[in-house]
Structure 1
Amino acid sequence: MFTKACENAIRAVLLITIKGREDKKLSIQQIAKAIDSPLPFTAKILQTLSREGLVASAKGPNGGFYIDTKAKPITLSQVVRAMDEESVLTTCALGLKQCSDKQPCPIHHQVKAYKNQLSKVLHKKTVQDLAKDLTDGKTFLRSHRKVKK
Protein backbone atom coordinates (compact mmCIF):
# COMPACT_ATOMS: atom_id res chain seq x y z
CA MET A 1 0.00 0.00 0.00
CA PHE A 2 2.74 2.46 0.97
CA THR A 3 6.14 2.78 -0.65
CA LYS A 4 9.09 0.98 0.88
CA ALA A 5 10.37 4.34 2.14
CA CYS A 6 7.13 5.01 4.01
CA GLU A 7 6.96 1.49 5.42
CA ASN A 8 10.54 1.76 6.65
CA ALA A 9 9.89 5.23 8.08
CA ILE A 10 6.99 3.88 10.14
CA ARG A 11 9.07 0.91 11.30
CA ALA A 12 12.03 3.16 12.16
CA VAL A 13 9.88 5.57 14.17
CA LEU A 14 8.33 2.65 16.05
CA LEU A 15 11.76 1.23 16.82
CA ILE A 16 13.12 4.60 17.96
CA THR A 17 10.04 5.09 20.15
CA ILE A 18 10.41 1.69 21.79
CA LYS A 19 14.11 2.19 22.52
CA GLY A 20 13.43 5.75 23.67
CA ARG A 21 11.31 4.37 26.48
CA GLU A 22 14.53 2.79 27.73
CA ASP A 23 16.36 6.13 27.32
CA LYS A 24 18.39 4.65 24.49
CA LYS A 25 19.43 6.32 21.27
CA LEU A 26 19.93 4.26 18.12
CA SER A 27 22.58 4.62 15.44
CA ILE A 28 21.71 4.59 11.76
CA GLN A 29 23.44 1.21 11.54
CA GLN A 30 21.28 -0.26 14.31
CA ILE A 31 18.10 1.08 12.76
CA ALA A 32 19.00 -0.09 9.24
CA LYS A 33 19.80 -3.57 10.49
CA ALA A 34 16.66 -3.82 12.62
CA ILE A 35 14.30 -2.70 9.86
CA ASP A 36 16.22 -4.66 7.21
CA SER A 37 16.91 -1.62 5.08
CA PRO A 38 20.06 -0.56 3.21
CA LEU A 39 22.12 1.96 5.18
CA PRO A 40 22.00 4.82 2.60
CA PHE A 41 18.22 4.37 2.19
CA THR A 42 17.74 4.41 5.97
CA ALA A 43 19.93 7.51 6.29
CA LYS A 44 17.77 9.34 3.76
CA ILE A 45 14.58 8.31 5.58
CA LEU A 46 15.96 9.43 8.95
CA GLN A 47 17.10 12.72 7.43
CA THR A 48 13.55 13.34 6.21
CA LEU A 49 12.01 12.39 9.56
CA SER A 50 14.50 14.63 11.36
CA ARG A 51 13.86 17.57 9.01
CA GLU A 52 10.12 17.19 9.68
CA GLY A 53 10.74 17.22 13.44
CA LEU A 54 9.51 13.67 14.03
CA VAL A 55 12.84 12.34 15.29
CA ALA A 56 15.90 14.05 16.72
CA SER A 57 19.55 13.11 16.68
CA ALA A 58 22.53 13.67 18.91
CA LYS A 59 26.16 13.42 17.87
CA GLY A 60 28.99 11.87 19.80
CA PRO A 61 29.76 8.55 21.47
CA ASN A 62 26.36 8.43 23.18
CA GLY A 63 24.58 9.90 20.19
CA GLY A 64 21.99 8.51 17.86
CA PHE A 65 18.37 8.97 16.95
CA TYR A 66 15.65 9.46 19.52
CA ILE A 67 12.17 10.85 20.00
CA ASP A 68 11.58 13.44 22.68
CA THR A 69 9.33 11.66 25.16
CA LYS A 70 7.93 14.99 26.34
CA ALA A 71 6.90 15.98 22.82
CA LYS A 72 3.37 15.76 21.52
CA PRO A 73 2.48 12.24 20.32
CA ILE A 74 3.24 11.50 16.67
CA THR A 75 0.37 10.27 14.52
CA LEU A 76 0.86 7.82 11.69
CA SER A 77 -0.54 10.55 9.46
CA GLN A 78 2.45 12.75 10.31
CA VAL A 79 4.89 10.02 9.29
CA VAL A 80 2.99 9.32 6.07
CA ARG A 81 2.86 13.05 5.26
CA ALA A 82 6.60 13.44 5.98
CA MET A 83 7.32 10.72 3.43
CA ASP A 84 5.01 12.34 0.84
CA GLU A 85 2.65 9.40 0.87
CA GLU A 86 -0.68 11.19 1.25
CA SER A 87 -1.33 10.53 -2.43
CA VAL A 88 -2.42 7.01 -1.47
CA LEU A 89 -5.47 8.70 0.07
CA THR A 90 -6.13 11.23 -2.68
CA THR A 91 -5.30 9.73 -6.05
CA CYS A 92 -7.41 7.45 -8.19
CA ALA A 93 -6.90 3.76 -7.41
CA LEU A 94 -6.74 3.06 -11.15
CA GLY A 95 -4.35 5.93 -11.82
CA LEU A 96 -6.82 8.05 -13.77
CA LYS A 97 -6.18 11.79 -13.84
CA GLN A 98 -9.89 12.62 -13.71
CA CYS A 99 -11.64 10.69 -10.94
CA SER A 100 -14.14 12.20 -8.53
CA ASP A 101 -17.60 11.72 -7.08
CA LYS A 102 -18.96 13.50 -10.15
CA GLN A 103 -16.80 11.58 -12.62
CA PRO A 104 -15.90 8.28 -10.89
CA CYS A 105 -13.75 5.45 -12.15
CA PRO A 106 -15.28 1.94 -11.96
CA ILE A 107 -14.08 1.36 -8.37
CA HIS A 108 -14.14 4.95 -7.06
CA HIS A 109 -17.01 4.60 -4.59
CA GLN A 110 -15.77 1.31 -3.13
CA VAL A 111 -12.22 2.60 -2.72
CA LYS A 112 -13.39 5.95 -1.34
CA ALA A 113 -14.89 4.26 1.74
CA TYR A 114 -11.65 2.33 2.29
CA LYS A 115 -9.54 5.49 1.90
CA ASN A 116 -11.75 7.39 4.34
CA GLN A 117 -11.36 4.62 6.93
CA LEU A 118 -7.60 4.49 6.38
CA SER A 119 -7.38 8.26 6.79
CA LYS A 120 -9.22 8.04 10.12
CA VAL A 121 -6.82 5.35 11.36
CA LEU A 122 -3.75 7.32 10.27
CA HIS A 123 -4.98 10.46 12.03
CA LYS A 124 -6.10 8.67 15.20
CA LYS A 125 -3.34 6.14 15.85
CA THR A 126 -0.11 7.42 17.32
CA VAL A 127 3.32 5.89 17.05
CA GLN A 128 3.31 5.73 20.84
CA ASP A 129 0.06 3.68 20.79
CA LEU A 130 1.52 1.23 18.30
CA ALA A 131 4.82 0.99 20.18
CA LYS A 132 2.93 0.16 23.39
CA ASP A 133 0.97 -2.57 21.59
CA LEU A 134 4.26 -4.01 20.31
CA THR A 135 5.98 -4.01 23.69
CA ASP A 136 2.85 -5.42 25.35
CA GLY A 137 2.89 -8.30 22.85
CA LYS A 138 -0.50 -7.35 21.38
CA THR A 139 0.97 -6.87 17.90
CA PHE A 140 4.00 -8.16 16.08
CA LEU A 141 6.79 -6.44 14.22
CA ARG A 142 9.63 -8.86 13.95
CA SER A 143 12.31 -6.20 13.64
CA HIS A 144 11.54 -4.42 16.91
CA ARG A 145 13.15 -7.28 18.80
CA LYS A 146 16.34 -7.43 16.72
CA VAL A 147 18.09 -4.32 18.01
CA LYS A 148 21.10 -5.09 20.16
CA LYS A 149 22.82 -2.76 22.58
Structure 2
Amino acid sequence: MFSKTCEYALRAVIFLARQSEDGKRLSIKEIAKGIGSPEHFIAKILQGLSKKGFISSTKGPNGGFFLDENQKIQPIKDIIIEIDGNKIFSNCILGLSECTENHPCPMHHEFKPVREIIKNLLDRYTLNHFIEDKKLNTTFLTDKINYN
Protein backbone atom coordinates (compact mmCIF):
# COMPACT_ATOMS: atom_id res chain seq x y z
CA MET A 1 0.00 0.00 0.00
CA PHE A 2 2.87 2.39 0.86
CA SER A 3 6.32 2.77 -0.63
CA LYS A 4 9.20 1.09 1.23
CA THR A 5 10.42 4.56 2.26
CA CYS A 6 7.01 5.37 3.75
CA GLU A 7 6.83 2.01 5.56
CA TYR A 8 10.24 2.61 7.14
CA ALA A 9 9.30 6.19 8.02
CA LEU A 10 6.12 5.07 9.76
CA ARG A 11 7.86 2.24 11.60
CA ALA A 12 10.69 4.58 12.67
CA VAL A 13 8.39 7.31 13.92
CA ILE A 14 6.18 4.82 15.75
CA PHE A 15 9.26 3.19 17.28
CA LEU A 16 10.54 6.63 18.27
CA ALA A 17 7.19 7.51 19.84
CA ARG A 18 7.09 4.32 21.84
CA GLN A 19 10.71 4.50 22.99
CA SER A 20 11.15 8.21 23.63
CA GLU A 21 8.03 8.59 25.69
CA ASP A 22 9.96 9.74 28.78
CA GLY A 23 12.12 12.26 26.93
CA LYS A 24 14.71 9.69 25.86
CA ARG A 25 16.55 10.54 22.65
CA LEU A 26 17.38 7.76 20.25
CA SER A 27 20.30 7.46 17.87
CA ILE A 28 19.97 6.41 14.26
CA LYS A 29 21.70 3.17 15.19
CA GLU A 30 19.09 2.40 17.89
CA ILE A 31 16.18 3.19 15.58
CA ALA A 32 17.64 1.25 12.65
CA LYS A 33 18.24 -1.80 14.85
CA GLY A 34 14.80 -1.49 16.43
CA ILE A 35 12.94 -1.53 13.12
CA GLY A 36 15.32 -3.70 11.09
CA SER A 37 16.38 -0.97 8.66
CA PRO A 38 19.75 -0.12 7.13
CA GLU A 39 21.22 2.82 9.07
CA HIS A 40 22.00 4.99 6.06
CA PHE A 41 18.48 4.55 4.68
CA ILE A 42 16.70 5.41 7.93
CA ALA A 43 19.14 8.29 8.55
CA LYS A 44 18.10 9.95 5.31
CA ILE A 45 14.40 9.45 6.10
CA LEU A 46 14.70 10.79 9.65
CA GLN A 47 16.71 13.81 8.57
CA GLY A 48 13.98 14.71 6.09
CA LEU A 49 11.23 14.24 8.68
CA SER A 50 13.19 16.36 11.16
CA LYS A 51 13.64 19.19 8.65
CA LYS A 52 9.88 19.15 8.00
CA GLY A 53 9.07 19.21 11.74
CA PHE A 54 7.53 15.74 12.06
CA ILE A 55 10.21 14.73 14.58
CA SER A 56 12.88 16.61 16.54
CA SER A 57 16.59 16.05 16.85
CA THR A 58 19.55 17.42 18.74
CA LYS A 59 23.26 16.97 18.12
CA GLY A 60 25.95 16.07 20.58
CA PRO A 61 26.71 13.33 23.09
CA ASN A 62 23.22 13.47 24.59
CA GLY A 63 21.56 14.12 21.26
CA GLY A 64 19.31 12.03 19.12
CA PHE A 65 15.81 11.92 17.76
CA PHE A 66 12.69 12.51 19.85
CA LEU A 67 9.11 13.76 19.68
CA ASP A 68 7.61 16.76 21.38
CA GLU A 69 3.99 16.84 22.56
CA ASN A 70 2.72 18.52 19.36
CA GLN A 71 4.42 15.94 17.17
CA LYS A 72 2.76 13.13 19.15
CA ILE A 73 -0.72 14.41 18.25
CA GLN A 74 -0.06 14.86 14.54
CA PRO A 75 -2.03 12.43 12.35
CA ILE A 76 0.07 9.73 10.71
CA LYS A 77 -1.73 10.66 7.48
CA ASP A 78 0.47 13.77 7.38
CA ILE A 79 3.64 11.66 7.43
CA ILE A 80 2.28 9.44 4.67
CA ILE A 81 1.43 12.44 2.50
CA GLU A 82 4.90 13.92 3.13
CA ILE A 83 6.65 10.73 1.99
CA ASP A 84 4.30 9.23 -0.63
CA GLY A 85 2.11 12.14 -1.57
CA ASN A 86 -1.68 12.09 -1.75
CA LYS A 87 -1.98 9.26 -4.30
CA ILE A 88 -3.28 6.65 -1.85
CA PHE A 89 -6.28 8.90 -1.27
CA SER A 90 -6.89 9.84 -4.88
CA ASN A 91 -5.42 7.38 -7.39
CA CYS A 92 -7.28 4.63 -9.19
CA ILE A 93 -7.04 1.23 -7.49
CA LEU A 94 -6.17 -0.32 -10.85
CA GLY A 95 -3.53 2.32 -11.55
CA LEU A 96 -5.40 3.81 -14.50
CA SER A 97 -4.50 7.44 -15.14
CA GLU A 98 -7.80 8.16 -16.91
CA CYS A 99 -10.06 6.93 -14.09
CA THR A 100 -12.32 9.78 -12.95
CA GLU A 101 -15.87 10.35 -11.76
CA ASN A 102 -16.92 10.94 -15.36
CA HIS A 103 -14.77 8.16 -16.81
CA PRO A 104 -14.61 5.48 -14.04
CA CYS A 105 -12.77 2.18 -14.08
CA PRO A 106 -14.81 -0.95 -13.24
CA MET A 107 -13.90 -0.64 -9.51
CA HIS A 108 -14.04 3.16 -9.15
CA HIS A 109 -17.40 3.52 -7.41
CA GLU A 110 -16.77 0.53 -5.12
CA PHE A 111 -13.30 1.69 -4.11
CA LYS A 112 -14.09 5.36 -3.57
CA PRO A 113 -15.72 4.83 -0.12
CA VAL A 114 -12.90 2.46 0.89
CA ARG A 115 -10.35 5.14 0.02
CA GLU A 116 -12.30 7.61 2.17
CA ILE A 117 -12.39 5.16 5.11
CA ILE A 118 -8.60 4.71 4.87
CA LYS A 119 -8.07 8.47 4.72
CA ASN A 120 -10.28 9.07 7.77
CA LEU A 121 -8.59 6.28 9.76
CA LEU A 122 -5.10 7.59 9.07
CA ASP A 123 -6.26 11.12 9.87
CA ARG A 124 -7.62 10.04 13.27
CA TYR A 125 -4.61 7.89 14.25
CA THR A 126 -1.82 9.82 15.95
CA LEU A 127 1.47 8.70 17.47
CA ASN A 128 -0.15 8.96 20.90
CA HIS A 129 -2.31 5.98 19.91
CA PHE A 130 0.84 3.86 19.56
CA ILE A 131 2.17 5.07 22.90
CA GLU A 132 -1.10 4.09 24.58
CA ASP A 133 -1.08 0.70 22.82
CA LYS A 134 2.39 0.06 24.25
CA LYS A 135 1.26 1.00 27.77
CA LEU A 136 -1.75 -1.30 27.52
CA ASN A 137 0.23 -3.99 25.69
CA THR A 138 -2.70 -4.45 23.29
CA THR A 139 -0.91 -4.47 19.94
CA PHE A 140 2.42 -5.17 18.31
CA LEU A 141 4.08 -3.85 15.18
CA THR A 142 6.34 -6.71 14.17
CA ASP A 143 8.14 -9.53 15.83
CA LYS A 144 11.45 -7.88 14.83
CA ILE A 145 10.91 -4.89 17.08
CA ASN A 146 11.75 -5.27 20.75
CA TYR A 147 10.22 -2.41 22.74
CA ASN A 148 11.59 -3.43 26.13
Q: TM-score, normalised by structure 1?
A: 0.90
Q: Distance in 2 between matches of 1:130 and 1:17?
A: 7
Residues 144 and 74 (structure 1), Cα distance of their counterparts in 2 relative to 1, 3 Å cut:
farther
- The corresponding residue for 2:146 is 145
Which runs of no fewer than 5 residues in structure 2 stay unpaired?
A: none
Q: Tell me how far 1:130 sits from its aligned partner.
A: 2.2
Which residue of 2 is the match for residue 48 of structure 1?
48
Q: Is the 8 A contact 1:17 1:67 kept in 2?
A: yes
1:62-82 deviation per Cα after TM superposition (whole angstroms, max 9, x unaligned): 110001135561111111112
For residue 15 of structure 1, report the CA deviation from its aligned partner. Answer: 1.2
Distance 1:70 1:88 in 2: 25
1:76-116, CA deviations, whole angstroms, 9 ceiling, x for partnerless residues?
11111121342111111111111112111011112111110
- The amino acid across from 2:91 in the alignment is T
Corresponding position of 1:102 = 102
Aligned residue for 1:131? Answer: 131
Moved more, 138-147 or 101-110: 138-147
Q: Is the 8 A contact 1:11 1:35 kept in 2?
A: yes
Find the counterpart in structure 1 of residue 84 from structure 2. 84
TM-score by length of 2: 0.91
Q: Distance in 1 between matches of 2:124 and 2:38?
A: 30
Identity over aligned residues, as a percent? 38
State the number of aligned residues: 147
Q: What residue in structure 2 maps to residue 23 of structure 1?
A: 23
Distance 1:72 1:13 in 2: 10
Partner of 2:117: 117
Give how far 1:51 is off.
1.6
SS of the residue 1:100 aligns to: coil
Answer whether contact 1:134 1:141 (CA < 8 A) is retained: no
How much does 1:144 deviate? Answer: 4.5
3-state secondary structure, aligned to 1:65: strand
In 2: Cα distance, 1:126 partner to 1:95 partner: 29
User: 1:134 and 1:110, CA in 2 relative to 1: closer, same or farther beyond 3 A?
Assistant: farther
Which whole-Å CA distance do the structure 2 matches of 1:146 and 1:89 have between them?
31
Residue type of the alignment partner of 1:140? F
